[in-house]
Amino acid sequence: MSRNNLPFAVVIEPKPLVADMVADTLRRMGYEVAVSATHAGGAHHAKTHGMVSLGVVAVPAPGEDLGGAYLLEARHANDKMGMLVLLSDPSEGSDEALPGAQKLVKPFGMDELKAAVILATS
């Protein structure tokens, strides 16, 4: 939960338009949201905040620092944390890093995002 008693979500997405759409949708769904373009930045948001209810993450870019990748520390702190992976290509690999995570292929609409969030958090 957030400081405002709302569930807290961290969005990691390098494309600002996609990140903004995801964050706006999550806010409408009742989440407090922090956004980062990198996994290291997302991990910092998670560590600073504390309990994370949902991670919505893009696959790390080639060459990106993998420190904090996939919000690993936050997932260890909350084993019930929902995870949604945003894929640019349906064949992109994330299974080894996130077994059981919900996946959503870009481009997607708000209804698809909402449905994926519900699945990721149930």
Q: What is the dihedral of CA 59, 65, 68, 69, to 10 degrees?
A: 20
What CATH superfamily is the domain 8-120?
Response regulator (3.40.50.2300)
Domain boundaries, the chain: 8-120
Task: Identify each DSSP E strand in 31-120 by its residue range.
Answer: 32-36, 54-58, 82-87, 102-105
Residue 97 has pLDDT above 70, yes or no: no
In percent, the amount of the chain with pLDDT more than 90 equals 61
pLDDT of amino acid 99: 72
pLDDT of amino acid 65: 75
Stated pTM of the model: 0.90
pLDDT in tens, 1-59: 555 789 999 999 999 999 999 999 999 999 999 999 998 999 999 999 989 999 999 98
Average pLDDT, the chain: 88
